[in-house]
Structure 1
Amino acid sequence: MTPVLKFIANQDQKPIRIDKFLMQLIPNISRNQIQKATRSGKILVNQHIIKKNNYLIKPFDLVIVEKTITNSSIFLDSSFFLENITEEKIPLNIIHEDEDLLVINKPAGIVVHPGFGHEKGTLIHGIKYHLKNFSNQKKFPPRLGLIHRIDKDTSGLLLIAKNEYSQKWLLKQFFYKTIYKKYIALVWGDLQKKEGSITGFIGRDPKNRKRRILFKNPSKGKYSITHYKVVEKFQYITYISCFIKTGKTHQIRAHFKYLGHPLFNDSTYGGNKIFMKKKLSKKNIEFFNMCLKILQRQALHAICLSFIHPNHKKCHFTCPIPEDFQNVLQKCKNQFSIKKN
C-alpha cells in the first residue's frame, strides 16, 4: 500500500485553494510539486481524486496525499492522524464514555495534540492507549476523533469522537455554533460592566507569533465573539464566566488582553505581572505574589459543555474547579471584601 499523509480541515477553515492549503501543512514542499501531484492524481479529497489546483478546501474536508511527492515529515500543528500517534499510558480523568464519544477533564500543563516540541506525552497519545482495545478502533476518524482543543495551561472539558459518524455529527454542531461552552476565569482589574461581549477578528500578532490579537480588518483574522458575566469582584481581581460560540486559538485570553484586563498569571498576554502595581499596598503586592506562585498558569477553566449526542439526546457535563484555581479564588474571597452582583 502506498504510504500517505492525511489531513482534515478545521471546522473554521475558510475556502482556500488546495495547493495553498497543503503548502501550509507540509514543510519544504513547493507549489509546483503539489500542482504536479494533483495533475497526476496523487491527491484525494473525501476519497475522490482532485485534478484541479484551484479546488477549494472547505471545513471538514479529508485530504489524502501520497508521501511520494515529498520527503518531508508531516507538520503536526493543526492536522494529524492516527498512524502518526504511538500509545502512551497517560492518566485520563474521564467524565463520560460511551460507544460514540469521550468527555475528558484535561488538567493544566498537558498538551492536547502533537506539534513541534511536543511529539510525545500529549493527551491524544493517552487517548490512543485508552482506546487500544476499542472494537471500532480501525474506524477512527482522522485526528483520532479530536473535536476541539484547549490550550496547554487551560484546564477543563474536552470532547472526543470515537467513530466517523459521531465526529461528523459533533463537528457540525461546532460549525453551526450550537454547542454550549462555558469557561470561568480570573482577570486583572475591576470590570465595570456586569456583563458584556467582546468581538473582533482574531489573528496572529505580527510582532509575536505565539500571541493572537484583535483586528478591525476582517481580512487579517477570523471573526470571534466572547460573552462574559461578572460572578464576583475582589477589588483588584474579577471572577467571571465566559460563553463562547467561536472557538479560536487563545480567544478568551486575547479578548481580555484587548479589553485591558488580561487573565491572571497569563504569561503570554502579560497577566503574570501584578496589575496596577503602583496603586497597591505592600501587603496586597505580597498577597498577589503568593497567588501567582500558587496558580502557575493562566486562570482559565472550561467548566461546562452541552451538546446533542449522536443518539439525539441532549447532554450537559460539568467538572470541578481545579485545586490551584479554587485555592486562589478562596484566598481572594478571604483577602478582599466581596461585591456580589
Structure 2
Amino acid sequence: MSAPDTEATAGLKAFAVGEDAAGMRLDQWLAARTAPNLSRNRVQALIRSGDVRIDGKVVGEPKAKLVAGTLVTLGMPEPEPAEPEAEAIDLSILFEDDDLIVIDKPAGLVVHPGAGNWTGTLVNALIHHCGASLSGIGGVRRPGIVHRLDKDTSGVLVVAKNDMAHRALSDAFADHGQTGDLERAYHAIVWGVPPRPAGIIDAPLGRSGTDRTKRAVVPAGRSDARHAVTHYGVVEKFGARSDATAFASLVECRLETGRTHQIRVHMAHVGHPLVGDQTYGRAFRTKANKLPDDMKNLVGDFPRQALHARLLQFRHPRTDDILRFEAPYPADFMELLEAMRRLPSE
C-alpha cells in the first residue's frame, strides 16, 4: 500500500510513491491520483511545463519511471481567463483618436474582466467600440488599461489603444505628476469634516488582516506595506455647526501615489469615511438616522461610495499636447450633494 497523499499549500499537491507504484510511468500514475479533476493529457502538459517535481527536482518527461519512497509534487497554476469578448455596451466618450480614448465611466461598470466579472466590463465594451483601431498591447488586440477606477467609482478614465501610448501613459501614471503634467482630482462626500481645510494623509497601506479583499493602514515596516499619500482639501461643508464641525462635507482628493482603495481607506483612517462606503464606512451608516425623514433614506441607502473622478489632465503621448478633461457629477452623486446642501447650519 502506498503512503497517504498529503497536501502542502493551496495550489500545490504532494503524493508519496509507495512500493506498489515503483516502475510506473509518472503521467499514468499521477493521472490516476488526480482523476477526475485532471485528464492524462492535462497531467502530461503540466509535467512538460515544469509544474511537476520529484523530491524537489523538476521532471519534464511524462514517461519518467517512479521510484518508491520519493515524493511527487504537482503545482496547479491559476487558470488563465478566457480572452475578453466584444460587447455592445454604451460608453460616454469624452475624447478619442488613434492612440487613446477618454471616457466618463459610470458607477457600476467594472474596468477589467476578473473573478465574478468576466463579461459586461469596460474592456469588453472597448473591444467592441474600438475594433480595428486597437493595434495591440503586448501583441494582443486589446485596450491598454493604465489606471483603474473601482467598480462603484464614477468619472474620467483614459485607456491606450497601442503599445506606444500604453508605455507613455503608464510611465506618467507611475510618476503621479511629480515630474510631469499628470493631474488627477477626485471629489468625495464624506461623513463629518476634517479639522483643517487642507491636509496630507501619509499612511502606508497593505492587506487587511481580517479580509484579504480589503486594504488597511499598516505599519511601515510590514512586508506588504506600500507608501501611500493623499492630499485633500475641503470644498464645501454640510450642516455646519458652531464648533467648526459639520454633518458631512465635500472634499477634493489628489493622489501622490495610486494604491488600491487609497482615498477610501485614507479618509476612513482619519475618521471621515465616504458616504455609502459599505466596506470602509459601514459603522457611520446610522448617522443618516439623524436626518429629516425626506433625506434619511436617500443618504442612508446611497448604493455606492460617493466618489467621483472629477478631473484628469495628461500630456498626449504622440502630439505632446496637454489634454484636460472634467466629468460632471453623475445624477446620483448630484442628488446626494443637493440633499446635503439642504441641511441647515447651526
Query: TM-score w.r.t. structure 2 length?
Result: 0.71
Query: Given the alignment, which residue of 191, 205, 227 partners 1:223?
Result: 227
Match of 2:331 in 1: 323
On the 8 A contact 1:264/1:272 being kept in 2, the answer is no
Match of 1:100 in 2: 99
- In the TM superposition, 1:183-332 aligns within 5 A as 183-218=186-221, 219-234=223-238, 235-271=246-282, 273-274=284-285, 276=287, 281=290, 283-284=291-292, 287-293=295-301, 295-310=302-317, 311-332=319-340
Q: Distance in 1 between matches of 2:293 and 2:196?
A: 25
Match of 2:88 in 1: 89
Q: Distance in 1 between matches of 2:48 and 2:158?
A: 34
| Distance 1:275-1:143 versus aligned 2 partners, 3 A rule | farther
Q: Distance in 2 between matches of 1:188 and 1:231?
A: 14
On the 8 A contact 1:145/1:167 being kept in 2, the answer is yes
Q: Distance in 1 between matches of 2:311 and 2:47?
A: 45
- Counterpart amino acid of 2:79? S
Q: Mark the structure with the bigger radius of gyration.
A: 2
Q: How many residues align?
A: 273
Unaligned runs of 5+ in 2: 1-9, 14-45, 52-56, 61-74, 239-245
| Distance 1:248-1:71 versus aligned 2 partners, 3 A rule | closer
SS at match of 1:223: coil
Match of 2:65 in 1: none
1:84 Cα deviation from its structure 2 partner: 1.0
1:329 Cα deviation from its structure 2 partner: 0.6
Match of 1:73 in 2: 79
| Distance 1:246-1:172 versus aligned 2 partners, 3 A rule | same
Output the aligned Cα RMSD. Answer: 3.0
Q: Distance in 2 between matches of 1:261 and 1:254?
A: 10
| Distance 1:199-1:285 versus aligned 2 partners, 3 A rule | farther
Q: Distance in 2 between matches of 1:95 and 1:123?
A: 15
Query: Given the alignment, which residue of 181, 184, 200 partners 1:181?
Result: 184
Unaligned runs of 5+ in 1: 1-26, 43-68, 77-82
Query: TM-score w.r.t. structure 1 length?
Result: 0.72
SS at match of 2:196: coil
Match of 2:163 in 1: 164
Q: Distance in 1 between matches of 2:185 and 2:310?
A: 6
The share of aligned pairs that are identical, in percent, is 35
What does the per-residue CA deviation read over 1:217-263, in whole Å, with 9 as the maximum and x for residues that have no partner? 24332111110000011121111101012111101001111111110
Q: Distance in 2 between matches of 1:138 and 1:302?
A: 25
SS at match of 2:195: coil
